[in-house]
């Protein structure tokens, strides 16, 4: 069998999406989302998608990008996926080597990657010089059968529930809220340099984002909390980001936003919901477990300083 490692081609989009769903079923992907991300990548990302082809079939892929939405220079990320039937054949090694070389040439000095919480992925990462940093939890909700809490009626004075589509004429207030919440998220690198123009492309216009299922809570007309919804058209829903601006925290507004989004998602035919949280994000983990989410998978973040082999 002949293994070929090469750059992504538009015709590969379905095969890469299928591979991602098989490798990490708690993350959603579609051929449209793969193609969109590659076609609309900002130059500052230095985005490269590399695939491994075995006798004409894609059996592995790695997405390598600079984290240009952080004010800390030199940070990069790689997302590696190998078909479960082809692990242990050097495919992951070949792909990750290509990703490291590309990102190092693009100016990256520290590379971050996620590994499924299992002995094999841990051993692979550590053999490559990566060190474990922090865990994340991925939760699943049987949305078709879940006993979702009812929406309060009436809403508190000054509080209004809107959809993302309601803000389509001017989404800048939602960008400001997303930027503030993202900057406060626990993690290895802070996302504190998200420009409005980049957010429009990477979030607002992304084909996975469903503006009708996205919920926005306003207080006296100001965006206070939100829950960005993403769907794959196959009955799967995921929370792309849920949070509350600093001035409005402690009032249950993120829970309100997510409650509204989940109700609309179920009404739209979604049958299962996924979400992911840093293990240190106790408030969101508590909110999600109160909805009935149960742990589905766990991953560990790994980091490697490039140029120190």
Give the pLDDT of residue 225: 98
Give the pLDDT of residue 232: 97
CB atoms within 10 A of CB 300: 20
Q: Rounded mean pLDDT of the chain?
A: 96
Give the pLDDT of residue 58: 98
Largest CA distance in the chain: 67
Q: How far is residue 109 CA from its own chain's centroid? A: 22
Question: CA quadruple 161, 167, 172, 178: dihedral positive or negative?
Answer: positive
CB atoms within 10 A of CB 252: 16
99-121: average pLDDT: 97
pLDDT, tens digit, 9 for 90 and up, residues 118-165: 999 999 999 999 999 999 999 999 999 999 999 999 999 999 999 999
34-61: average pLDDT: 97
Give the pLDDT of residue 186: 87
pLDDT, tens digit, 9 for 90 and up, residues 210-255: 999 999 999 999 999 999 999 999 999 999 999 999 999 999 999 9
- Residue 205 — φ and ψ, nearest 5°? -95, 0
Beta strands in 105-220 (DSSP E): 110-116, 131-142, 159-163, 215-219
Q: How far is residue 20 CA from its own chain's centroid? A: 12
Question: CA quadruple 33, 262, 294, 224: dihedral positive or negative?
Answer: positive
Compute CA distances 152 → 141, 227, 259, whole Å.
21, 17, 10
**Do residues 164 and 174 touch, judged by C-beta distance below 8 A?**
yes
Those residues whose C-beta lies under 8 Å from the C-beta of residue 232, and which sit 6 or more positions away, are 28, 29, 30, 33, 208
pLDDT, tens digit, 9 for 90 and up, residues 179-206: 999 999 888 998 999 999 999 999 999 9
Which of these, 213, 113, 217, 116, lies nearest to 165 by C-alpha position? 213
- Greater confidence (57 vs 309) lies with 57
pLDDT at 307 exceeding the cut of 80: no
Which of these, 8, 29, 28, 6, lies nearest to 17 by C-alpha position? 29
**Do residues 181 and 245 touch, judged by C-beta distance below 8 A?**
yes
The span from the CA of 149 to the CA of 23, in Å, is 32
pLDDT at 308 exceeding the cut of 60: no
Q: What is the bridge-based pairing of β-strands 75-82 and 57-66? A: antiparallel
């Amino acid at each position: 069998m002949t293994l070929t490692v090469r750059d992504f081609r538009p015709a590969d989009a379905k095969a890469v999406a299928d591979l991602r769903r098989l490798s990490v079923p708690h993350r959603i992907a579609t051929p449209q989302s793969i193609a969109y991300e590659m076609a609309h990548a900002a130059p500052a990302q230095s985005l490269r998608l590399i695939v491994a082809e075995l006798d004409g079939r894609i059996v592995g892929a790695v997405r390598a990008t600079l984290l240009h939405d952080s004010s800390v220079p030199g940070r990069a990320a790689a997302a590696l996926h190998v078909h479960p039937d082809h692990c242990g054949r050097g495919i992951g090694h070949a792909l990750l080597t290509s990703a490291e070389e590309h990102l190092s040439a693009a100016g990256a000095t520290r590379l971050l990657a996620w590994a499924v919480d299992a002995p094999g992925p841990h051993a692979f990462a550590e053999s490559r010089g990566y060190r474990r940093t922090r865990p994340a939890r991925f939760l699943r909700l049987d949305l078709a059968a879940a006993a979702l809490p009812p929406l309060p009626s009436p809403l508190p004075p000054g509080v209004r529930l809107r959809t993302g589509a309601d803000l389509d004429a001017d989404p800048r207030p939602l960008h400001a809220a997303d930027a503030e919440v993202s900057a406060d998220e626990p993690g290895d690198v802070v996302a504190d340099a998200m420009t409005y123009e980049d957010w429009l492309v990477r979030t607002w216009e992304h084909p996975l984002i469903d503006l009708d299922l996205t919920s926005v809570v306003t207080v006296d007309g100001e965006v206070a909390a939100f829950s960005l919804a993403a769907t794959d058209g196959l009955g799967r829903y995921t929370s792309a980001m849920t949070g509350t601006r600093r001035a409005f925290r402690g009032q249950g507004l993120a829970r309100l936003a997510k409650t509204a989004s989940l109700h609309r998602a179920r009404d739209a035919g979604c049958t299962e919901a996924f979400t992911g949280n840093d293990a240190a994000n106790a408030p969101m983990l508590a909110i999600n477990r109160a909805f009935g989410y149960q742990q589905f998978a766990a991953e560990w973040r790994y980091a490697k300083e490039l140029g120190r082999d």
